[in-house]
C-alpha cells in the first residue's frame, strides 16, 4: 500500500484533534460523536501523554483496593476503533502551529486539524520547599503516580501527605490503604479550608484522627532531607521533625497550559486558557475544556463542570447552539469513610447572610445552613458526619426554593427522620442526577412519554446510572409522579411473578404447592430469575422444610445455599460449623485447628462466637465436612437466610452477677431454631443479667435474664442501619419464652417481604409494636395455635444439610471444581499475611504466575 | 447423498471447526450449571432440558467460566433464568446477567464473555472449538 492511498479519505474528511485523554478529553470525543449523530465527515484523533487510555480519576484510590486500569477505564481501545477514533497514547503533543493548523507530537507525527480541543487538564502544584525533588517525594494524579507511591511504600512504614484539602485527604486514604502510618500536614489552621468552616474542619480532623490518620494543622514544612538510613525527614517551623518513607504533595492544581502559551493563545493572569461561553479560546478553531480552561476568571476543579464544557464544545462544533454558563461547585463525598458535604456559600460571605448551626459531639455530626437575610432562601450549607440531608438541601439551593418558616427545622434531629422535600416544590428545571444532567422535567417527560416504572425511567433518561447518589430522590419523584396520575405503583417481586413475597407464601400454602415449576406454571411466567428463585426456595423451605438440595430445589438456590458454604471474592468458600451458644470443648477446638492446618485455611473468630475457615475450593468441601461431622459438628448455616447464631455470655454458672443460665438457654434456642429458613438472616443473643454482655438488644431476638425469668426483646439489628430492639414481654418462664418466640418467628416468616429484616417488617406493620404484641401475646388474630404447630413441624423435621449431602452420592457429584478433570482452579492463588493465607491481588497474582 | 459420501466442503468444515467432547449429559445439572476444563480453558456448561420445542443444540450452553466483574471463575455457579425472554445466568458474586446465547452482559456493554456452540450427541456434551 502506498502512502497516498492511506490519505485518500483525509482530504474529504475534516480533522478534529483532541489533546488530552483524561476523563474530560474522553467525554469530549464521546459527546462529539453523539452530537454528530453518525455523520462521518469528521475524523477524530485523540492524543494522550499517558500510556493508559482514559480512566476514572475520581475513583483513583480504588487502584489500591485491587482495581486495575481495566476496571477504571472509561473506554477501551476497541471502542475507540469501533467509532473510528484514532488514538495516539503514550506520546505528548509538542507544538501547535496555528498558521499551518497542525499539531506536532513527540514521536514526530504531525496531525493536521480543522478544529482542536485542548483537554490537557492540570498538574499537581509542588511548593518549592528545599528537598521537594527527592526520590521519595511524589504526587497523586495518575496511575503511574500510584505505582510510584506503591513502590515507595513497599519497604516503608510511614507516609505523609502535604496538603489537607479534598485531594490531600483522598491521598491520605490511599496511603492508609497501603498499610502506612499516615500523617496529613496542612498549612492552614484547619482541614479543607475551601469547603468547610473552622468547626466543621475541627470535627473532620477529630473523626479522621480517630480512624488512625494523624493530622497536623497550622504546620509549615520548611525542608525535606534524606537521613543516613535512606529515610526522609520533614522539618517544620514549630514542631519536631517527622521521619517518613513517602511524601505525597497535594497542595492544589495548576492548569497544564504550556502548549497554549507557546501557541500564543490568551491566558489568565495566573494561568489557564481563557474561553468564551462556547468554550472557544482566543483562536476560534481551538477549544479548551476541563481544568486547563479559564471561564469568567475561574478554573473548575471538578469533573462535572469539565463534562459540561466538553458537551458545549462538542455541540458548538457540530453546529448546535450551546453555552457553558458556569457550574455549581457543591460537593458531597466520603473521605476516609467520613461524610462531608459543602454547598454554595459555605462560609457565609454574602451580604446579610444568616447562619444556623447544629452540632452533636456525641454522634459526631455537624450541620450548618447559610440563608438570605430574611431566612427565605438557602445560600449555602456544610455537613460533616452525615450526608443524608445533602440532596434535599442542594435542591433548595439550586432551585431557589422557599425555605420553611423555621429554616433550622431542616437540620435539627427529628423523630420522623430526614425531611423530604415535596415533589411539587421542585421546579421542572431541578437537576436530579448531576452526573448525567437529568432534570425533574426530563423525568416527568419520560413518564408523559409512556414510562410506567422506575426501571423504564432510568432506561429512558439514563438518570442514576452514574454515581447512583440520586437514587433515593429519583425513586421519590418517579413514584410520586406516577401516583399523582393514578398509576398503581408496581410491587411485583420481579417480571416472573406479579405478587409480593407475602402473597406468594399464601399461594404456596393454600395451594399446597411443593415446587417452583408448579408455582411458576400456575401463578407466574417465564423461567424465573435470581430474584424469584431463591425467594420461592425460601418459602418452600419454610412451608415444607424439604432439604434445599433435593433435585426439585437445587437449581433455585444462590451458590451459597447450593454448596452449603459462603462464596468469597475469589470464588473459594468459607466453612462455618455450628458452635451453639459459643460453647465448645477442647477436643472440638483441636479438630477445627487440625482441619484448618491440613487444608491450609485462613481462620477467623466471627462476631457470632464461632470460627470461620476461609479458602476452601469446591471439591475440598465434602472432605472437610466429613472430618467435621465425624467429630460431631453440624452445619452452621452461615450461608443461608436462616437462623445464624445465638450469642451468649457465661451466665449464672460462672459469673457472680448472673441471674440465669444464659449459655444453657442459648444452646436450647439455637438447637431449636437451627435450619429455620426466613426472609432474611436471623441473629439471637441471651444475656445472663442486665449488664447485657451478649448485646442481646442489637439482635432480632434478644433475651435478658431477670431475677424471675427472662425479658424478651425483638426486632433489633446491627449492620448498615442499626436498631435497638424493643422490649416485648417481661419475666417469662422458659416454656412461655419459647412459645412466644415460636409464634413471632413464624408470623415473621409468613408475612415479611423478601430480604426484609425483622426491624423493617415490624415498622411496616400497621400499628407496629403494639399490633405485634396484640397478635402474639393476646392472640388477636386467632393464629397462635396454627403458628405453634407450623413451627413444631419445622423443628421436628430438621436435618443437618451437610450430613444429607455426604450420605448421597448424587448430591456429592455437584461438589466438583470441574466435571471432567480433577484439577483445582489454577486462578485461585494465595499469599501469606500475618502467618495465614489470603487471596493474592491481581498484581501479586501476575507476578506469581509469571515466576512459576 | 449417502451417509458416508463426504464432500470436500464437509471435510474442510470438520477440520476448521472441530467438535470437542467435554463430558456426559449425566454430569450436567438440569436447570443449573457445572464447570469443565477444555484445553486449559475453564468453561461453564448450562443445561435447560425442560424447555419445550427446543432442539438438543439449544438445551445446553457453553460460556467462559470467568466472571468479568470479579475475575473469579464462578459463572457456572450462577442462577439461571430469563430477563424479558432472554435466557441468562446471574453471576453469583455481583449478580450481573449474561446472555446464554450471546455472552452479552445485560447491565454493562463493556463486558462480553466468550460463548461456544454446544450440543448433545449420544449422551455426550460437545462444544465447537472455535
Binned at pLDDT 50, 70 and 90, residue A391 comes out as: confident
Percent of chain B topping pLDDT 70: 80
**What is the complex's ipTM, to 2 decimals?**
0.84
Q: What's the pLDDT at A25?
A: 94
Residue of A nearest to B93 (CA): A569
Q: What's the pLDDT at A594?
A: 96
Q: Which are the contacts of A702, defined by CB distance < 8 A and separation ≥ 6?
A: A684, A685, A686, A687, A696, A712, A713, A714, A716, A725
Which pLDDT tens digit goes with each residue over B54-65? 455 568 999 999
Whether residues B77 and A559 touch (CB distance < 8 A) is answered with yes
Length of chain A: 852
Which pLDDT tens digit goes with each residue over A171-228? 998 898 888 999 999 999 999 988 999 999 999 999 999 888 999 999 999 999 999 9
Residue A548 has pLDDT above 60, yes or no: yes
Whether residues B72 and A570 touch (CB distance < 8 A) is answered with yes
Q: SS3 of A124, please?
A: strand
Residue B4 has pLDDT above 70, yes or no: no
Q: What's the pLDDT at B3?
A: 39
Contact B91, B108 (CB under 8 A): no
Residue A469 has pLDDT above 70, yes or no: no
Q: Which fold has domain A3-123+255-317?
A: FAD/NAD(P)-binding domain (3.50.50)
Q: What's the pLDDT at B11?
A: 35
SS3 letters for B32-51?
EEEEEEECCEEEEEEECCCC
List B residues 59-98 in contact with A (Cβ-Cβ < 8 A): 66, 70-74, 77-85, 87-88, 90, 92-93, 95, 97
Q: What's the pLDDT at B16?
A: 52
Query: Which of A528, A554, A827 is opposite residue B29, by nearest beta carbon?
Result: A554
Which pLDDT tens digit goes with each residue over A75-105? 777 788 888 889 999 999 999 999 999 999 9
Work out the angle at residue A530's Cα, subtended by the Cα atoms of residues A526 and A535, and round it to the nearest 5 degrees.
95
Q: What's the pLDDT at A304?
A: 85
Residue A368 has pLDDT above 90, yes or no: yes
Mean pLDDT of the region A829-845: 91
- CA-nearest of A779, A750, A747 to A510 is A750
User: What is the C-alpha end-to-end distance of chain A, expressed in Å?
Assistant: 44
The minimum CA-CA distance between A68 and chain B, rounded to whole Å, is: 11
User: Buried b vs exposed e over B1-24: b needs ≥16 C-beta within 10 Å?
Assistant: eeeeeeeeeeeeeeeeeebeebbe
Q: What's the pLDDT at A218?
A: 92
Binned at pLDDT 50, 70 and 90, residue A640 comes out as: confident
Q: What's the pLDDT at B13?
A: 38
Percent of chain A topping pLDDT 90: 53
Which pLDDT tens digit goes with each residue over A287-324? 999 999 999 999 998 888 999 999 999 999 988 888 99
**Mutate which of A70, A464, A818, A828 to test chain B, going by most B C-beta atoms within 10 A?**
A818
Whether residues A555 and B31 touch (CB distance < 8 A) is answered with yes
Which pLDDT tens digit goes with each residue over A711-758? 999 999 887 778 899 999 999 999 999 999 999 999 999 888 878 889
Which pLDDT tens digit goes with each residue over A478-504? 878 887 777 666 667 888 998 888 888
More confident of the two residues A19 and A252: A19
Q: What's the pLDDT at A293?
A: 96
Percent of chain A topping pLDDT 70: 95
Is A558-635+801-824 assigned to CATH 3.90.480.10? yes
Binned at pLDDT 50, 70 and 90, residue A354 comes out as: very high
Binned at pLDDT 50, 70 and 90, residue A9 comes out as: very low
Spell out which residues of chain B touch residue A818, defining contact as CB-CB under 8 Å: 35-37, 42
Whether residues A825 and B42 touch (CB distance < 8 A) is answered with yes
Q: What's the pLDDT at A574?
A: 95
Q: Give the β-pairing of A602-605 and A611-616.
A: antiparallel
Whether residues B42 and A567 touch (CB distance < 8 A) is answered with no
Q: What's the pLDDT at A415?
A: 47
Measured distance CA(A177)–CA(A183) in Å, rounded: 13
Residue B12 has pLDDT above 60, yes or no: no
CB count in 10 Å sphere of residue A463: 27
List B residues 4-63 in contact with A (Cβ-Cβ < 8 A): 22-23, 27-32, 34-38, 42, 45, 48, 50-51
Mean pLDDT of the region B119-126: 90
- CA-nearest of A543, A622, A539, A549 to A797 is A543
Q: What's the pLDDT at B9?
A: 37
Query: Which of A527, A814, A816 is opposite residue B82, by nearest beta carbon?
Result: A527
CATH architecture, domain A137-251: 3-Layer(bba) Sandwich (3.50)
Q: What's the pLDDT at B29?
A: 87
Binned at pLDDT 50, 70 and 90, residue A333 comes out as: confident
Binned at pLDDT 50, 70 and 90, residue A38 comes out as: low
Q: What's the pLDDT at A342?
A: 93
Measured distance CA(A162)–CA(A576) in Å, rounded: 45
Same fold, A3-123+255-317 and A137-251: yes
The minimum CA-CA distance between B79 and chain A, rounded to whole Å, is: 6
Q: Which residue ranges make up each domain of chain A?
A: 3-123+255-317, 137-251, 501-557, 558-635+801-824, 655-796
Residue A537 has pLDDT above 60, yes or no: yes
Mean pLDDT of the region A336-352: 90
Q: What's the pLDDT at A677?
A: 87
Q: What's the pLDDT at A567?
A: 94
Mean pLDDT of the region A534-544: 86
Binned at pLDDT 50, 70 and 90, residue A455 comes out as: confident
Residue of A nearest to B96 (CA): A530
Q: Which fold has domain B20-128?
A: Rieske Iron-sulfur Protein (2.102.10)
Q: What's the pLDDT at A40?
A: 64
Which pLDDT tens digit goes with each residue over A550-594? 777 888 988 898 899 999 999 999 999 999 999 999 999 999 999
Q: Spell out the alpha helix ranges (H) of A697-782.
A: 734-751, 758-764, 768-777
Residue A461 has pLDDT above 50, yes or no: yes
Spell out which residues of chain A touch residue B29, defining contact as CB-CB under 8 Å: 554-555, 814
Q: Which are the contacts of A748, defined by CB distance < 8 A and separation ≥ 6?
A: A678, A679, A758, A761
Q: Which fold has domain A655-796?
A: Sulfite Reductase Hemoprotein; domain 1 (3.30.413)
Q: Is A78 on the interface with B (CB under 8 A)?
A: no
Mean pLDDT over each residue of chain A, to the nearest integer: 88
More confident of the two residues A364 and B75: B75
Binned at pLDDT 50, 70 and 90, residue A111 comes out as: very high
Q: Is A26 on the interface with B (CB under 8 A)?
A: no
Residue B50 has pLDDT above 80, yes or no: no
Whether residues A818 and B42 touch (CB distance < 8 A) is answered with yes
Q: What's the pLDDT at A755?
A: 80
Which pLDDT tens digit goes with each residue over A116-152? 999 999 999 999 999 999 999 999 999 999 999 999 8
* C-alpha distances in Å from residue A768, one per residue of A155, A681, A698: 57, 21, 18
What is the count of residue pairs from A and B with beta carbons less than 8 Å apart?
101
Amino acid at each position: 500500500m502506498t502512502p497516498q492511498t492511506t490519505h485518500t479519505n483525509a482530504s474529504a474528511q475534516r480533522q478534529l484533534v483532541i489533546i488530552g485523554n483524561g476523563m474530560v478529553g474522553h467525554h469530549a470525543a464521546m459527546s462529539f460523536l453523539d452530537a454528530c449523530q453518525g455523520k462521518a465527515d469528521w475524523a477524530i484523533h485523540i492524543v494522550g501523554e499517558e500510556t493508559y487510555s482514559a480512566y476514572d480519576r475520581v475513583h483513583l484510590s480504588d487502584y489500591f483496593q485491587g482495581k486495575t486500569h481495566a476496571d477504571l477505564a472509561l473506554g477501551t481501545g476497541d471502542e475507540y476503533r469501533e467509532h473510528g477514533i484514532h488514538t495516539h497514547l503514550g506520546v505528548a503533543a509538542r507544538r501547535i502551529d496555528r498558521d499551518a493548523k497542525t499539531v506536532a507530537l513527540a514521536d514526530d507525527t504531525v496531525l493536521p486539524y480543522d478544529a482542536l480541543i485542548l483537554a490537557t487538564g492540570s498538574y499537581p502544584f509542588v511548593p518549592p520547599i528545599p528537598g521537594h525533588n527527592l526520590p521519595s517525594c511524589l504526587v497523586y494524579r495518575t496511575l503511574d503516580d500510584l505505582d510510584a507511591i506503591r513502590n515507595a511504600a513497599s519497604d516503608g512504614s510511614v507516609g505523609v501527605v502535604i496538603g489537607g484539602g479534598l485531594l490531600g485527604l483522598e491521598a491520605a486514604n490511599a496511603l492508609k490503604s497501603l498499610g502506612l502510618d499516615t500523617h496529613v500536614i496542612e498549612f492552614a489552621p484547619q482541614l479543607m479550608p475551601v469547603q468547610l468552616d473552622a468547626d466543621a474542619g475541627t470535627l473532620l480532623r477529630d473523626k479522621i484522627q480517630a480512624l488512625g490518620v494523624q493530622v497536623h494543622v497550622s504546620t509549615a514544612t520548611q525542608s525535606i532531607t534524606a537521613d543516613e538510613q535512606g529515610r526522609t525527614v520533614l522539618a517544620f517551623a514549630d514542631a519536631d521533625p517527622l521521619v517518613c518513607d513517602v511524601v505525597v504533595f497535594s497542595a492544589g492544581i495548576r492548569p497544564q497550559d504550556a502548549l497554549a502559551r507557546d501557541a500564543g493563545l490568551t491566558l489568565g493572569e495566573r494561568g489557564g486558557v481563557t474561553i468564551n461561553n462556547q468554550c472557544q479560546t482566543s483562536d476560534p478553531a481551538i477549544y479548551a475544556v476541563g481544568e486547563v480552561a479559564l471561564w469568567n476568571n475561574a478554573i473548575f476543579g471538578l469533573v462535572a463542570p469539565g463534562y459540561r464544557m466538553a458537551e458545549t464544545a462538542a455541540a458548538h462544533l457540530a453546529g448546535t447552539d450551546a453555552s457553558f454558563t458556569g457550574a455549581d461547585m457543591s460537593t458531597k463525598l466520603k473521605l476516609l469513610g467520613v461524610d462531608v458535604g459543602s454547598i454554595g456559600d459555605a462560609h457565609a460571605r454574602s451580604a446579610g447572610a444568616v447562619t444556623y448551626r447544629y452540632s452533636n459531639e456525641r454522634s459526631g455530626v455537624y450541620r450548618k445552613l447559610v440563608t438570605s437575610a430574611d431566612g427565605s432562601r438557602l445560600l449555602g450549607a456544610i455537613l460533616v458526619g452525615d450526608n443524608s440531608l445533602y440532596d434535599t438541601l442542594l435542591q433548595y439551593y439550586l432551585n431557589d426554593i422557599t425555605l420553611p418558616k423555621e429554616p433550622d427545622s431542616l437540620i435539627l434531629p427529628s423523630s420522623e427522620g430526614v425531611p423530604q422535600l415535596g415533589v411539587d416544590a421542585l421546579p421542572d428545571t431541578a437537576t436530579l442526577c448531576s452526573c448525567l444532567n437529568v432534570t425533574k422535567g426530563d423525568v416527568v417527560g419520560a413518564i408523559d412519554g409512556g414510562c410506567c416504572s422506575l426501571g423504564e425511567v432510568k432506561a429512558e433518561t439514563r438518570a442514576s446510572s452514574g454515581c447512583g447518589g440520586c437514587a433515593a430522590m429519583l425513586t421519590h419523584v418517579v413514584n410520586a409522579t406516577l401516583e399523582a396520575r393514578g398509576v398503581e405503583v408496581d410491587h411485583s417481586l420481579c417480571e416472573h411473578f406479579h405478587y409480593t413475597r407475602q402473597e406468594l407464601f399464601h399461594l404456596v400454602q393454600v395451594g399446597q404447592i411443593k415446587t417452583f415449576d408448579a408455582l411458576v406454571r400456575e401463578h407466574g411466567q417465564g423461567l424465573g430469575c435470581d430474584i424469584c428463585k431463591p425467594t420461592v426456595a425460601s418459602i418452600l423451605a419454610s412451608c415444607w422444610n424439604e432439604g434445599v438440595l433435593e433435585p426439585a430445589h437445587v437449581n433455585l438456590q444462590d451458590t451459597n445455599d447450593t454448596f452449603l458454604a459462603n462464596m468469597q471474592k475469589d470464588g473459594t468458600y468459607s466453612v462455618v460449623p455450628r458452635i451453639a451458644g459459643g460453647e465448645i470443648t477442647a477436643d472440638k477446638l483441636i479438630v477445627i485447628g487440625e482441619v484448618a492446618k491440613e487444608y491450609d485455611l485462613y481462620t477467623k473468630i466471627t462476631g457470632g462466637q464461632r470460627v470461620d475457615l476461609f479458602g476452601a475450593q469446591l471439591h475440598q468441601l465434602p472432605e472437610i465436612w466429613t472430618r467435621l461431622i465425624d467429630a460431631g459438628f453440624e452445619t452452621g448455616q452461615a450461608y443461608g437466610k436462616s437462623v445464624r447464631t445465638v450469642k451468649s455470655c457465661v451466665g449464672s454458672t460462672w459469673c457472680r452477677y448472673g441471674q440465669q443460665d444464659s449459655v444453657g438457654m442459648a444452646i436450647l434456642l439455637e438447637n431449636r431454631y437451627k435450619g429455620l429458613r426466613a426472609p432474611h438472616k436471623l441473629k439471637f443473643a441471651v444475656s445472663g443479667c442486665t449488664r447485657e454482655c451478649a448485646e442481646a438488644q442489637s439482635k432480632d431476638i434478644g433475651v435478658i435474664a431477670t431475677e424471675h425469668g427472662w425479658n424478651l426483646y425483638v426486632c433489633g439489628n446491627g449492620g448498615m442501619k442499626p436498631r435497638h430492639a424493643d422490649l416485648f414481654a417481661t419475666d417469662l418462664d422458659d416454656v412461655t419464652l419459647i412459645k412466644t418466640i415460636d409464634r413471632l418467628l413464624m408470623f415473621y416468616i409468613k408475612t415479611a417481604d423478601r430480604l426484609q429484616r425483622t426491624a423493617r417488617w415490624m415498622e411496616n406493620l400497621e400499628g407496629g409494636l403494639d399490633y405485634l404484641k396484640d397478635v402474639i401475646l393476646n392472640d388477636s388474630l386467632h393464629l397462635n395455635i396454627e403458628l405453634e404447630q407450623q413451627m413444631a413441624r419445622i423443628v421436628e423435621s430438621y436435618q443437618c444439610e451437610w450430613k444429607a449431602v455426604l450420605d448421597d452420592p448424587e448430591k456429592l457429584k455437584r461438589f466438583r471444581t470441574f466435571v471432567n478433570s480433577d484439577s483445582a482452579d489454577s486462578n485461585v492463588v494465595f499469599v501469606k499475611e500475618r502467618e495465614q493465607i489470603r487471596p493474592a491481588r491481581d498484581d501479586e497474582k501476575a507476578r506469581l504466575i509469571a515466576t512459576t | 447423498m449417502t451417509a458416508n459420501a463426504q464432500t470436500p466442503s464437509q471435510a474442510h468444515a470438520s477440520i476448521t471447526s472441530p467438535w470437542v467432547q467435554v463430558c456426559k449429559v449425566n454430569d450436567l445439572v438440569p436447570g443449573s450449571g457445572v464447570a469443565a476444563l477444555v484445553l486449559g480453558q475453564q468453561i461453564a456448561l448450562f443445561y435447560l432440558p425442560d424447555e419445550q420445542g427446543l432442539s438438543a443444540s439449544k438445551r445446553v450452553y457453553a460460556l467462559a467460566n470467568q466472571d468479568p466483574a470479579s475475575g473469579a471463575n464462578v459463572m457456572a455457579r450462577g442462577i439461571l433464568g430469563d430477563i424479558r425472554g432472554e435466557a441468562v445466568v446471574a453471576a453469583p458474586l455481583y449478580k450481573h446477567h449474561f446472555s446464554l446465547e450471546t455472552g452479552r452482559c445485560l447491565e454493562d456493554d463493556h463486558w462480553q464473555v466468550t460463548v461456544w456452540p454446544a450440543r448433545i450427541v449420544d449422551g455426550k456434551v460437545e462444544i465447537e472449538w472455535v
